[in-house]
Amino acid sequence: AQSVTQLDSQVPVFEEAPVELRCNYSSSVSVYLFWYVQYPNQGLQLLLKYLSGSTLVKGINGFEAEFNKSQTSFHLRKPSVHISDTAEYFCAVTRETGGFKTIFGAGTRLFVKA
């Protein structure tokens, strides 16, 4: 069975500071990993994805994530955040076999303060 754990429910940070949002997953089969962002009253927008290849993945809005297979982690980072980055961030995994199913974590609320 798959599961996704986002270790922090809320992350407050000052503007222009770096941030890391943590995600750990468990799965008995190969998976693909994603980060999505959700702004208030909106659907989810894909930030970045890891399918294979380089373990460092760059996404939109200056975000990047690193896949670590031995630690089963896929942490999201940004070197300098903006007020506009305030949103809910979701880590998700999709399994490779047995049909199509995406599992989302519970989300991390990033709050950027001036």
Asked if 25 contacts 74 with a C-beta cutoff of 8 angstroms, the reply is yes
Distances (CA, A) of 74 to 16, 29, 55, 114: 22, 16, 9, 28
Only one of the segments 15-23, 61-69, 75-83, 93-101 lies at the binding site for other proteins (rule: CB under 8 A); that segment is: 93-101
Give the contact letters, 2-31, x = binds to other proteins (CB under 8 A), - = no: --x-x-------------------------
Q: Give the residue among 101, 96, 102, 49 at the shortest CA–CA distance from 76.
A: 49
Our finding on whether 35 is near other proteins (CB under 8 A) is no
Choosing from 8, 11, 27, 49, the residue that interacts with other proteins (CB under 8 A) is 49
